[in-house]
């Protein structure tokens, strides 16, 4: 009985820690940068993500349909939910929009594969400084913008990188 309890407790600790990087990005716009506000949702599709899957903003979920939608949207249709245990979507508005696509891989091998794919997919926008790919362990986050100020852009990316570092 005690062994079963300990095994269950350890499983809970492991699963709680596994999405820590994504859950630390469940923040409101002003926490990222003073002029950002969290975009209000109205149920319409957002950046190729079906509106019925994004019920809140930001949203972090291990729902398979949500993971699939975020993986596809965040990779411009190139990735699916394979090897991904949780996903994050967040959308903010400043002078222009800024958002996150977050993916938590199931293994280091999956994280390496996802990172390589995301960096390749987003290379053009990375070159224009309109996107950055961050990695912290098994967690990958694409931060993108339609053109916020350089000061806001740098502060947000620094904040994301700091939140992905294990405490």
**C-alpha distance from residue 25 to each of 9, 44, 60 (Å):** 25, 23, 9
pLDDT score for 46: 66
pLDDT score for 145: 96
Is residue 156 a contact partner of residue 98, using CB atoms and an 8 Å limit? yes
- Kindly list the domain boundaries of the chain, sorted by start residue: 19-164
pLDDT score for 164: 93
Task: State the residue for tokens 């729902």.
Answer: 63
Is residue 60 a contact partner of residue 80, using CB atoms and an 8 Å limit? no
pLDDT score for 167: 55
Is residue 164 a contact partner of residue 141, using CB atoms and an 8 Å limit? yes
Distance of alpha carbon 16 from its chain centroid, rounded?
Answer: 17
Using a 10 angstrom Cβ sphere, with 0-12 exposed, 13-18 middle and 19 or more buried, the burial of residue 142 is: buried
Task: State the residue for tokens 């570092």.
Answer: 165
Tokens linked to 166: 């294990």
Neighbours of 93 (CB within 10 A): 17
pLDDT score for 48: 63
**Beta bridge pairs of residue 143:** 100, 132
Model confidence pTM above 0.75: yes
- Return per-residue pLDDT of the chain as tens, 167 residues: 444 333 333 333 333 334 467 999 999 999 999 999 998 877 655 666 666 677 888 999 999 999 999 998 888 888 889 999 999 999 999 999 999 999 999 999 999 999 999 999 999 999 999 999 999 999 999 999 999 999 999 999 999 999 998 65
pLDDT score for 50: 66
């Amino acid at each position: 009985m005690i062994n079963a309890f300990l095994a269950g407790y350890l499983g809970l600790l492991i699963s709680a820690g596994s999405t820590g990087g994504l859950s630390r990005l469940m923040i409101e716009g002003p926490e990222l940068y003073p002029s950002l506000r969290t975009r209000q949702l109205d149920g319409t599709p957002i950046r190729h993500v079906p509106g019925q899957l994004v019920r809140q903003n930001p949203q972090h979920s291990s729902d398979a349909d949500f993971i699939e939608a975020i993986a596809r949207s965040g990779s411009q249709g190139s990735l699916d939910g394979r090897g991904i245990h949780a996903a994050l979507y967040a959308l903010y508005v400043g002078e222009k929009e800024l958002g996150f696509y977050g993916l938590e891989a199931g293994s280091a091998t999956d994280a390496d594969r996802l990172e390589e794919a995301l960096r390749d997919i987003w290379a053009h926008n990375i070159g224009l400084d309109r996107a950055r790919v961050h990695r912290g362990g098994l967690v990958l986050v694409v931060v993108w913008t339609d053109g916020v100020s350089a000061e806001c852009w740098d502060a947000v990316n620094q904040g994301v990188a700091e939140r992905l570092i294990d405490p």
